[in-house]
Amino acid sequence: MSREELKGHLDLLLLATLRDRQLHGYALIEELKRGSDGAFELPEGTIYPALHRLERAGLLSSRWSSESGRRRRVYQLTRKGVGALDERRQAWRQFAKGVDLVVQEA
Amino acid sequence: MTIDEYLAELRRHLKVGPLARRRILREIETHLVEATAQELTAGHPAEQAERRAIERVGSPVDLAAPFPRARWVPVLASVAVAAATAAILFGAGGVSAPPASGITPAVAVLTGDGSDSLYSTGESASLSVALIRCPDGKLGSRTITVGLLYRVTIRTDCPTAVPHW
């Protein structure tokens, strides 16, 4: 998947990665790489505008956390974010199913 | 480019408010430090590890671009101009300011230090105040201008000499 295509799904990927846990930006990127088995490679800085945007939209909340002597900004889903994740997951499954059907037919 | 140089470049391109800017810079700095540590652990020498970490994060220009421009600066400037207008129209005596600079006591009240610069942006606007009562009782005019770098200047035009405060 190209970088541009990936950018279009970044919100869903970030929301899904933050499901049931709190992560800071660096850990989030590492988890994205691990969870996708290395399939997703983006300039790592690109997640920060997305995280800030999702927070402004009320889908994420964040706070400063001091662990191992270093201050990091950790993010987590809000209740609204959980709802948004479920909706987008549903939409993605329908989209992927539609693509599969067309591609298989072809 | 070092991490410090990267952050300086990023700071230059961020057009957000000061709180947001501080947070973003801190987050990116932490990210770069962690990425550098990982590259060092992978066996790269220090300079190369820092460079690889910066490459992973991406261009500071591209990183800064998606952050929305601060909207509060023009709003605060409008508030500042409105406050200056009210102070001029209804009086704000007791504070002195050098008349040659074009700054009135009203602006000094706003800034607290007699300076004529309130905020730093690249936008400008102007506001004209129509009529005032000059010290000699005659009608004059006063114009407030918010120029580049949000320099607030107030010009008084009275038929007689410059009023003293």
Q: What three-state secondary structure class fits B79?
A: helix
- Per-residue pLDDT of B25-82, as tens digits, reads 999 999 999 999 999 999 999 999 999 999 999 999 999 999 988 775 555 555 665 6
Contacting B residues, span 96-135, partner chain A, CB-CB under 8 Å: none
Name which of A1-15, B9-23, B25-39 the model is least confident about.
Answer: A1-15
ipTM exceeding cut-off 0.85 for this assembly: yes
Q: By a Cβ cutoff of 8 Å, what residues of chain A touch chain B?
A: 24-26, 43-46, 48-50, 52-53, 70-73
Residue with tokens 């850990």: A27
Q: For residue B128, give the nearest of B103, B156, B97, B149 by alpha carbon.
A: B156
Pairwise CA distance, residues A106 & B51, whole Å:
46
> What pTM does this model have?
0.64
Token pair in block for residue A76 = 């987590």
Where is pLDDT greater, at B28 or A9? Answer: B28
Predicted local distance difference test score (pLDDT) of residue B159: 75
Under DSSP, the state recorded for B94 is S
Q: What three-state secondary structure class fits A58?
A: coil
Predicted local distance difference test score (pLDDT) of residue A87: 93
Are the C-beta atoms of B29 and B7 separated by less than 8 Å? yes
Which residues of A are less than 8 Å from B42 in CB distance? Answer: none
Sign, Cα dihedral of B95, B101, B107, B111: negative
Pairwise CA distance, residues B129 & B142, whole Å:
5
- Per-residue pLDDT of A14-73, as tens digits, reads 999 999 899 999 999 999 888 888 777 778 999 999 999 999 999 999 999 987 778 899
